[in-house]
Structure 1
Amino acid sequence: MKYLFVICFLFLSLTSAVNAQSFKYHTVKKGETVFSISQSYSIDEEDIYKYNPDARQGIGINEKLVIPIENNATSSNTSVQFKEHKVKKKETLYSLSREYNVSVDDIKRYNKHLYSSELQMGEVLQIPVGQIPSTVLPKKETTVAPKPSAVSQNFKTREHIVLPKETKYGIARKYGMTLTELNELNPKVEVLQPGMMIRVGTNVLEDEPVIITDDRFRFYEVKPQETLYSLSQRFGVSQDSLRRLNPALDEGLKFGMVLKVPAREGEDIENDSDFEVQPGTANTLVDLSTSLSNRSKTKEIVLLLPYHLNMVQEDSLQTYRKAIMDERVLRISLDFYSGVLMAVEKAKKLGISTNLRVFDTKREASEIQSIIYSNNFDNVDAVIGPLMKDVTETTASLLQNKNVPVINPLSNREMKGYTNLVQSRPNEEYMQEKMVDYIARNASGKNVIVVADGKSYTIKNKIMNAIPSARAANPSDNYIAESKLAEMLKPGENWVILESESINLVSSVTAALNRLARAHNIKLFTTNKNNSYESDIVSNNHLGKLQMHYPSVDKEYDTAKTKDFIEDYEKKYKIQPNQYAIRGYDLTLDVLLRLASSQNLYESFEKFPGYTEYYESKFHYMPKPNGGYLNDAIYILKLNEDLTISEANDL
Structure 2
Amino acid sequence: MKKILALLLFVGATSIYAQQKTHTVQAKETVYGISKQYGISQSELYKANPKIEQNGIHPGDLLVIPGKVDTITEEIMKDASKVSDTFTDDNFIYVTIQPKETLYNLSKKYKVSEESISSLNPQIKERGLEIGDIIKLPKSPTTKNTFSVPKGSHLILKGETMYTLSRQYKVSVDDLYAENPSLQSGVKEGMVISIPQKSGAVVIEDNTINYVVQKDDTAYGILQKYNTNLDELLRLNPDVINGLKAGMTLKLPLQKNAKIIKYGTAGKLKRANDNEINVAIMLPFDVANNPQLKNSQSMQFFTGAKLALTRLAKTGKNINVKVIDTKNGNLQDILSTNDFTKTDAVIGPLTTSDVTEVANFFSNSGIAVISPYANEDSLNSFTDLLISNPKDEVVADQIIEEIGKNFAGEQVYLLTNREDQELANYTKKQLEKQVKANVVIVDNVSKIVQPHDKVNGQDYYTPIITVLVGDDDALGKQYLDKLKTFNKDNIKAYGIKSVAVYDVYNPDNAKNIDAFREFGFVYSTARLINTRDEEVKSVLKDFSDIYCGFPTRYEQLGYDVTYDIVDRMNSKGDVTNNITTENTRLSSKFSYKKISGSKAYTNDASRIVRLPKK
Structure 1 length-normalised TM: 0.42
Structure 2 length-normalised TM: 0.45
